A and B are shown apart, each in its own frame.
Chain A
Amino acid sequence: MLILYHHPASPSSAKVRFVLQEKGIAWEGAIVDLYQGEQFSTAYLAINEAAVVPTLVHNDRPVRESLVICEYLEEAFPTVPLAPADLALRARMRVWCKDIETFMSVSLAGTIFPANDRHELARLAPEQLDAYFERHPNRRLAERRRAWMTEGYASPDARYSVLTYHKFLQKMEFQLGRSEWLVGNSFSLADIETAPYIAVLELLQFQNWWADRFPQVRAWYEKIKARSAFRRAAVDVVPDRLRRDMAKRGAEAWPEVEAIIATAEPFNGKSPWAMRAEAL
């Protein structure tokens, strides 16, 4: 019995749903309403002390961290393989996935929170909002979010997040000019881990970020969208109201994001790993 605690618009949840769908595994979903602070409930903290989605519970045992969950599913359900058989390529896939965690995961919040989440949280009453930040176990992230609530993209931290995100798109463009998929010539967990970070931009109607700037990324994302597993995992699951709200808010925020992107430095053309040392 597999239960996934997740959220429709969370990219790290979408990664795991994508793996489940690609592998054709039957699962049951339990939505954790992040905008209502359900991730801080005692019941949820008992299975995920970091108060983040997703958590997979398999035969009553919790597995945490989206990347670790994906590797878990890869090993527990090997029939449809999503990791290269070649072991050196598999190592490169793991490095790519680790970079996703290091850069995309970390800069995601700063990139989308000012456009979307802050409007969701603004629906809470002031005392509910205070309670939301009080209960956040990650103090630093809680403080950053408070800043994004009031300053939006003017916060230096949000700006840095957008630029990191942009650098990662540059890195993808570079890599996709060299291989068919992100790691080698077959679809793998590297593509699965990356796709939801592009899908969330699309929900915000930020397609212009890559449409002309990054043709390889655009072509790759079209291939991703052609997969029915992806549509079920990352598209169909988003409720209509949230989709409409995100599109509207994103369209309003886009000029600010584009202004930040305009200040980005051109990609230095070094190896795709080189950005790591520069961004850290």
Chain B
Amino acid sequence: MLTLYHFPSSVCAAKVRLVLYEKEVPWESKIIEILKGEQFQPWYVALNPNAVVPTLVHDEQPIVESAVICEYLDDVFPDPPLRPADLVDRSVMRIWASDVDTYMNGICAGITYPATHRHEVLKLSPEELQRFYDGHTDKDKLARRKRLIEQGYQAPDAKHAVLVYDRFLTKLEDQLAKTGAWLAGKSYSIADAAATPYLVRLDMLNYQEWWRHSRPRLDDWYERIKARLSFQPAMIDVMPAKFMADMGTRGSGYWPEVREILKDAGAW
């Protein structure tokens, strides 16, 4: 019995959903409303002491950390394999999966909060908002969040996030030039699943112009990703229609501001 505690727009959770659908194993979905602070409830913290999504529970055994969950699923359900058989390629896969977690996870919030999550959080009543802020155990993270919520893309953290994102897109393009196919070699792997939600995020915000003309290999990779059977259920069907629509509309309005940041920094 597999249960995944997750949230539609969490990039770490989306990576695990992709792996589950790639493997076609049945699983039960439990949504944790992270924008309402549900991750801080004691019963969830008992499963996941870091109070983050996702958590996989397999036969009553909780597994945490999205990169670890992906490898766990590949260990338990080895067919089809999502780690390259070539062990050096596999090491490249692990570096990609880990780098995406380390460098891009926080950065993604810097892109998303100013355009959309910010508006969701600002809908909360003053008491709910206070509860949301109080739930954060990490004070630095809370301070960053507050700046993103209050200042949008003009927050220094948001500008920084835009530039790091731009370098990430270049890094993806360069890596695909090296391998010619997928991020860690000739076959689709956990590295591709790990990177996918970051492109979907830009896609949903209607920021396609960011890569479509300047990074042809990445564009081709993303088209191949979208054609896989895992894509629609893991990335699209799970999203509430209104949330998706809001994200697209709000994002379209913000793209000029993002483009200006890129131009100012000489990235464009």
Contact = CB atoms under 8 A, between A and B. Distances in A.
Contacts of B229: none
Nearest to A98: B65
A64 B67 contact: no
Contact of B49 (A65, A68, A90, A271): A271
Contacts of B268: none
Interface residues of A, number: 27
Closest 9 CB pairs of A and B: A273-B49, A274-B49, A271-B49, A91-B72, A94-B68, A277-B50, A88-B61, A63-B91, A68-B94
Contacts of B90: 72, 75
Interface of B: 49-52, 58, 61, 63-65, 67-69, 71-72, 75-76, 87-88, 90-91, 94-95, 98, 137-138, 141
A87 B76 contact: yes
Nearest to B88: A61
A94 B49 contact: no
Contacts of B68: 91, 94-95, 98
Interface in A234-280: 270-271, 273-274, 276-278, 280
B67 A98 contact: yes
A76 interface: yes
Nearest to A69: B91
A230 to B, nearest CB: 24
Given A95-B65, A98-B68, A280 B87 contact: no
A75 B138 CA distance: 37
Nearest to A65: B95
Contacts of B58: 88
B98 A94 contact: no
A277 B139 CA distance: 10
Nearest to A61: B88
A227 interface: no
A47 to B, nearest CB: 12
Contacts of B76: 87
Contacts of B64: 95, 273
B51 A71 contact: no
A44 B114 CA distance: 41
22 contacts: A58-B88, A61-B88, A63-B91, A65-B95, A68-B98, A71-B94, A87-B72, A87-B76, A88-B58, A88-B63, A88-B72, A91-B72, A91-B75, A94-B65, A94-B67, A95-B68, A98-B67, A98-B98, A273-B64, A276-B49, A278-B137, A280-B138
Nearest to A63: B91
A63 to B, nearest CB: 5
Contacts of A88: 58, 61, 63, 72
Given A76-B87, A91-B71, A273-B50, A280 B141 contact: yes
Contact of B98 (A65, A87, A278, A280): A65
A64 B91 contact: yes
A63 B95 CA distance: 10
A277 B137 contact: yes
Tell me which of A91, A101, A271, A274 has the highest count of chain B C-beta atoms within 10 A of its own C-beta: A91
B49 A63 contact: no
A72 B90 CA distance: 8
Interface in A65-124: 65, 68-69, 71-72, 75-76, 87-88, 90-91, 94-95, 98, 101
Contacts of B49: 270-271, 273-274, 276-277
Contacts of A63: 88, 91
B91 A276 contact: no
B71 A68 contact: no
A90 B58 CA distance: 14
A270 B98 CA distance: 26
A75 B87 contact: yes
B95 A276 contact: no
Contacts of A101: 98
